[in-house]
Amino acid sequence: MLTIISRPARAIALACTVLLAGSLVAAGPAGAKSKGHDHAHDHSHSHAHGANSEIYNGYFKDDQVKPRTLEDWEGEWQSVYPYLLDGTLDPVIAEKAKHGGKSASEYRTYYEAGYKTDVDKIVIAGSSVSFSRGKQSAKANYVTDGYEVLTYPKGNRGVRFVFRKADGDEAAPQFIQFSDHMIAPEIADHYHLYWGNDRAALLKELTNWPTYYPADLTGKQIVKEMLAH
């Protein structure tokens, strides 16, 4: 069962512009909830070592969690979903099957559901964020809405850093939630993003987690990063 431990929302004003396609809210994370997403098992960071590895793997104390700003996700980002579809990530799937508890086919199904998104690009500069889906776009301003600590079915935990829409296009979602296996201010090297109009419902989403890596990495470089995790 998913357990959510609420933390008070911070009143740190952050303006961010979100570009979202007219149908993007409906196309965002909304997959089936039959299986939990075990971040620590499939997405641990290559930079983890020592005490930090416990945090990256989802084991930490509540008082270690600290508020974060959009600066931690600054940069230009690309979705990894196209690389899964075109076969670029096949070596990652093969490696997972070699050492994990699923077959290559099962891992592919898992990641196809997890990475699925039509948001192919995200740009974050300071407090400004843009999401793009082809040539369509919508805009909104967001402010921080605190964070939530989630306990996953396998017992490890994760933190969602939440931002709420202050104003903007109706098509833009009311909430965006970042997850990158970190629990305090630190520069992200990749992240999962959740979006929609129901804050509580988003926190229960464990099946679809669109994932973004730096836009200047090639597909082969992303594979190398993933294999190093």
Per-residue pLDDT of the chain (229 residues; tens, 9 = 90+): 444 444 443 333 333 333 333 334 433 433 333 233 444 334 333 344 445 789 988 999 999 999 999 889 988 999 999 999 999 999 999 999 999 999 999 999 999 999 999 999 988 876 677 778 888 877 788 889 999 999 998 899 999 999 988 887 787 788 999 999 999 999 999 999 998 999 999 999 999 999 999 999 999 999 999 998 7
Residue 11 CA from chain centroid, whole number: 23
Token match 């039959």: residue?
Answer: 34
- Residue 19 CA to residue 192 CA, distance in Å, equals 17
Q: Do 59 and 65 form a contact (C-beta atoms < 8 A)?
A: no
Gap between the terminal Cα atoms of the chain: 27
The residue range of the domain holding 9 is 3-228
DSSP letter, residue 152: -
Phi/psi at 212 (nearest 5 deg)? -130, 135
The 8-class DSSP code of residue 10 comes to P
Number of domains composing the chain: 1
**Bridge partner list, 159:** 149
CATH of the domain at 62: 2.40.128.20
